[in-house]
Amino acid sequence: MATPVPLRGRLRRYGTSYAMLLPFLALFAAFLIWPLANSLYLSFTTFDGINPAAFTGVDNFLRLAEDARFRHALGNTALYVVAAVVVGTLLSLGLALAFNGTSWPHRIMRTLFFLPSVTSSIALMLMWKWVLFPSDVGLANTIVGWFGGNAVAWLATPGLTIPILVLMSVWGGMGYGMVLYVAGLGSIPEEYYEAARIDGASTWQQFRRITLPLLRPVTTYVVVTGLIGAFQVFEAVYIVFRGTNNVGGVLDSGLMIVPYLYDQGFTHFKLGYASAIAWVLFLIIFVLSLVNLRLGRAMKEL
């Protein structure tokens, strides 16, 4: 058995390395560990940001179960997440297959589709708000007018809210997924396709039996990161759909979990209740991410 190195010996040997880690560990503890721990504590309290926090146990979580507006926000978020992740993943894969070449037209198209992913989200949301402006000033209604149609109240029609949010999400994120899929496609050996063609496999069979299985790690990553990002949607709702007295738009048609958290915490100053919402959101994202990773691993082993 190896003789354990005494603490003094480890400090003498690795002391410089430990010292260099201390600034990072201090910042990590101050700006991540402490806020998380404090948020968890506040979720069990009633706190308005001014008066001392009063411990109330699990009352905040019990209130969430009875909060109709929270359930509405959860339902909207679930619908938005499913649509945005499914459509975004399929379009990312389709773009990667369409522009997977090395020619300059393919490179230009990949660049154009990727640009929204690296552009400021605030700038993009302001652009979309202009496009969907309810009068003839908006680009969408201007185009409708060219074809003789009447102006549409895009931001004031509850039935259009979720589709518009999905459209903005997919348009802004599919370029990022496309780049990941292009990298995944480039890692597949060409010999696999040559052997499949020799065996008489069709293009669809090659895609189904070679491309899709070997892209499972990329798909898992795209889906998991898409889930995390979709559950945390905020800028689109707050900037594009926020009304004077309502963060969720007309009839709360665009109310999502994070905007509702913001509304409770920073409009109504129910910081304890907002912390409880944050931890419920964390648990939902954690469980769904874990399920996706397990499913991806199980499918890889088939």
At 264-293, the pLDDT tens digits run 999 899 999 999 999 999 999 999 888 888
Question: Distance between CA 187 and CA 189 in Å, rounded?
Answer: 6
Q: How many CB atoms lie within 10 A of CB 124?
A: 19
Buried b (16+ CB within 10 A) or exposed e, 220-243: bbbbbbbbebbbebebbbbebbbe
Whose CA is closest to 67, among 270, 300, 301, 285?
Answer: 270
Supply the pLDDT for residue 152.
87
How far is C-alpha 252 from the geometric centre of its chain's CA atoms? 21
| CATH match of 74-236+280-301 with 3.40.50.970 | no
- Contact (CB, 8 A) for 237 and 165: yes
With beta carbons less than 8 A apart as the criterion, state whether 90 and 152 touch: no
> What pLDDT score does 297 carry?
74
Q: How large is the average pLDDT for residues 29-49? A: 94
pLDDT at position 108 is 94
Residue partners of 236: CB distance under 8 A and separation at least 6: 125, 128, 165, 168, 169
Q: Taking all residues of the chain, what is their mean pLDDT, rounded to a whole number? A: 89
Q: Tens of pLDDT along 99-144?
A: 998 899 999 999 999 999 999 889 999 999 999 987 777 889 988 8
> What pTM value is reported for the model?
0.88
pLDDT tens digit string along 201-240? 899 999 999 999 999 999 999 999 999 999 999 999 999 9
Neighbours of 83 (CB within 10 A): 18
Cβ atoms of 140 and 154 within 8 Å: the answer is yes
Helix or strand run (H / E) with residue 46: strand 45-46
pLDDT at 1 over 60: no
| Alpha-carbon gap, residue 241 to 5, rounded angstroms | 61
Measured between its terminal Cα atoms, the distance across the chain in Å is 40
